[in-house]
Amino acid sequence: MGLHVSTHPLAHHLTTTLRDKETGPHTFRQAARILSSLLAVEATASLPTKPVTVVTPIKEMTGAVLAQPLAVIPILRAGLSMLEPFLELFPEVAVGYVGLERDHETAEASSYYCKLPTLAGKAALVVDPMLATGGSASQAIDLVKAEGPALVRLVSVVAAPEGVARMQRDHPDVEIYCAALDEGLNDRSYIVPGLGDYGDRLYGTG
């Protein structure tokens, strides 16, 4: 159904570290960075490749490279925490930003910033640690799709069934990669059991 929940033991270990309320900002950032690297690998594992001819120190051979250039688009602010691992793994990746702010009363998101690279023909990876209601992710992907990428994928740390359902309704062609699928949302639209406010815990602002 387009939802990929990591089965890697390290993903489970790191997600548990992020969930623990006793985990401080420094350890939280370390765990978030490693987990983002793991998710980046999993989210790109099935991307198409094309053959190329290279010459090794021994002989000529046919290898494979990614068939499409990549773009990564973090949803601000928490999505920024997932950006650096993608840059390390894919140095030539193009980067865009979408700023969406959630109203804590209505749980609806409004856009305050959008800066996207040329996306035509690229594989676009939208990154946001928490897929809660799915409203922010859906709006961001609307903006990304308007630029004509070859494909779009969403990469999150923790997802709620409500957010997954919203994404599958609004963007059934977008595959979702995450480390955990949680129970659901509470009356404030926070993920349960979740891990609290990702941005606040990441930056020590909670």
Rounded to whole angstroms, the Cα distance separating 90 from 148 reads 21
Compute and round to an integer the Cα radius of gyration of the chain. 17
Q: Does residue 56 sit in helix, strand or coil?
A: coil
Q: Does residue 79 sit in helix, strand or coil?
A: helix
Active site residues: 102, 106, 197, 200
* CA-based torsion, 67, 69, 72, 73: positive or negative: negative
> Which amino acid makes up residue 98?
V
Rounded to whole angstroms, the Cα distance separating 133 from 46 reads 27
Q: Residue holding tokens 């676009």?
A: 124
Residue 120, phi then psi, degrees to nearest 5? -55, 125
The distance from CA 121 to its chain's CA centroid, rounded to whole angstroms, is: 19
CA angle at residue 165 from 163 to 187, to 5 degrees? 45
